Amino acid sequence: MIKFNVPPFVGKEFDYMREAVANHKICGDGIFTKKCDEWMEKRFNANRVMLTTSGSSALDMAALLCDLKTGDEVILPSFTFSSTANAFVLAGAKLVFVDIRPDTMNIDEKKIETAITEKTRVICPVHYAGVACEMDTIMDIAKKYNLLVVEDAAQGVMSTYKGRALGTIGDFGCFSFHETKNYSMGEGGAIVLNNPLYIKKAEILREKGTNRSQFFRGQVAKYNWVDYGDSYLQSDLNAAYLWAQLEKADEINNNRLATWNTYYNAFKYLQERRIVELPTIPEGCKHNGHMFWLKCKDFETRQAYIEFMKENDILCVFHYVPLHSSPAGLKFGCFVGEDEHTTPDSDRLVRLPLYYNILPEDVQRVIDKTLDFFGV
Ligand SMILES: *Cc1c(COP(=O)(O)O)cnc(C)c1O
């Protein structure tokens, strides 16, 4: 059976976890947490990065830091994971879903402006498959209307847009280190704080509403409950696991990209003959090989393809059911403008097996069976 995903494991994870235990500090903000945070700050040229318990909790933090009032509106794509939306619902906002572009499956930056009202406060672009949204346009719109930008870069660790790391362009960026992502700690994530105005508030928010971070730095004599907060600190045990993978970040990235390119080259011919559609990597974007998707001509063909691959012991999977037509989406938001691509294109999309160190012969089998199915 060729699995759809196998979580990355590079070999040093257990050594580092043992070291974390030997340090007698396995809670948050230990040695490995600091290593991971600092590595990301340096590598991504980010102002401040903090590990969190998940990509979802990084989004929750970002949404709370936006300080939304009931009825404030947040613009986001409907073609995304529930976590993107949950964060803003929990923060009291109303969701405004905007259509996606068919070439990247990212929010269509040209359709954002018409969705803006007096109540709009935030734009939340999602970098689907680790391919960047059109951030220059999005940042220009945000500036023009005085909006905050939260980048859902859960899938975008190590990707760039015009030389800048995804997650470092908006006011906040959110990464995920779930086991389905490129770098993993089981469950985990990180928030990127690009606007220095929010750093102190973020430290308090993640430390149960206390100023303990300032206390540890000797900036205050004792620590107090100073504001509302929660616990978003990741355990140093998990950070130790992640650290092994960050040390090999380039190797993992290159390995995934090589598989992605192999698929792309093998299926280019199908695209030229208009049998399938393949992802576009826009000019100026460098992606991280997070995902390889293709779009069949219709829903029925996609279902038949998934079934055919399964019969051949290969797991290919579809992706998001659009949020705006889901029970919670109907309750918490609305779609603005025409659903030109969100529903029709998500119905046709399928993802192929792609993970760190997938065997070349397995990749070849996925290719052969796919070409068999499409009759070429
Ligand atoms: C994975 C993912 C999340 C959630 O991350 P978790 O670490 O699983 O909480 C949020 N948004 C997108 C787009 C994702 O792919």
Which residue out of 61, 81, 166, 291 has the highest number of ligand 1 atoms within 8 Å of its CB and is therefore the one to mutate? 81
Q: Whose CA is nearest to atom 5 of ligand 1?
A: 55
Q: What is the pLDDT of residue 207?
A: 94
Ligand 1 atom nearest to CA at 83 = 10
* Per-residue tokens: 323: 């949020």
CA 92 – CA 95 distance, rounded (Å): 10
Distance 222 CA to ligand 1 centre (A): 36
Ligand 1 atom nearest to CA at 59 = 10
Distance 274 CA to ligand 1 centre (A): 32
Give yes or no for a contact between 139 and 317, defined as CB atoms under 8 angstroms apart: no
Distance 353 CA to ligand 1 centre (A): 18
Residues across the chain: 376
284: left (phi over 0), alpha (psi -120 to 50) or beta: left
Distance 56 CA to ligand 1 centre (A): 6
Q: What is the pLDDT of residue 375?
A: 87
Q: Is 325 exposed, middle or buried (0-12, 13-18, 19+ CB in 10 A)?
A: middle
Alpha helices in 68-162 (DSSP H): 82-90, 135-145
Distance 151 CA to ligand 1 centre (A): 12
Which residue out of 175, 178, 191, 290 has the highest number of ligand 1 atoms within 8 Å of its CB and is therefore the one to mutate? 178
Distance 80 CA to ligand 1 centre (A): 9
Could you write out the DSSP letters of every residue in 99-118? -B-TTT-SB-GGGTGGG--T
Distance 122 CA to ligand 1 centre (A): 19
Ligand 1 atom nearest to CA at 58 = 9
CA 175 – CA 166 distance, rounded (Å): 9
- Report long-range pairs for 355-359 (Cβ below 8 Å, ≥24 apart): 355/3, 355/5, 355/6, 355/7, 355/8, 355/256, 356/6, 356/8, 356/182, 356/252, 356/255, 356/256, 357/6, 357/8, 357/255, 358/6, 358/259
Ligand 1 atom nearest to CA at 57 = 9
Residue 249 scores a pLDDT above 90: yes
Q: What is the pLDDT of residue 158?
A: 98
Within 6 Å (CB) of ligand 1, which residues are found? Answer: 54-56, 80-81, 83-84, 126, 152, 154-155, 176, 178, 189
Q: Whose CA is nearest to atom 2 of ligand 1?
A: 154
pLDDT band at 55 (very low <50, low <70, confident <90, very high): very high
Residue 347 scores a pLDDT above 90: yes
Question: What's the rounded mean pLDDT across residues 168-197?
Answer: 97
Residue 216 scores a pLDDT above 90: no
- Domains of the chain by range and CATH? 13-246 (3.40.640.10), 249-373 (3.90.1150.10)
Task: Please report the sign of the dihedral spanned by the C-alpha atoms of residue 178, residue 214, residue 92, residue 125.
Answer: negative
Question: What's the rounded mean pLDDT across residues 256-279?
Answer: 98
Question: What's the rounded mean pLDDT across residues 303-324?
Answer: 98
Distance 187 CA to ligand 1 centre (A): 10
Q: Which residue has the tokens 């409907």?
A: 78
Distance 78 CA to ligand 1 centre (A): 14
What's the predicted TM-score (pTM) here?
Answer: 0.98
Question: What are the tens digits of pLDDT across the range 74-123?
Answer: 999 999 999 999 999 999 999 999 999 999 999 999 999 999 999 999 99
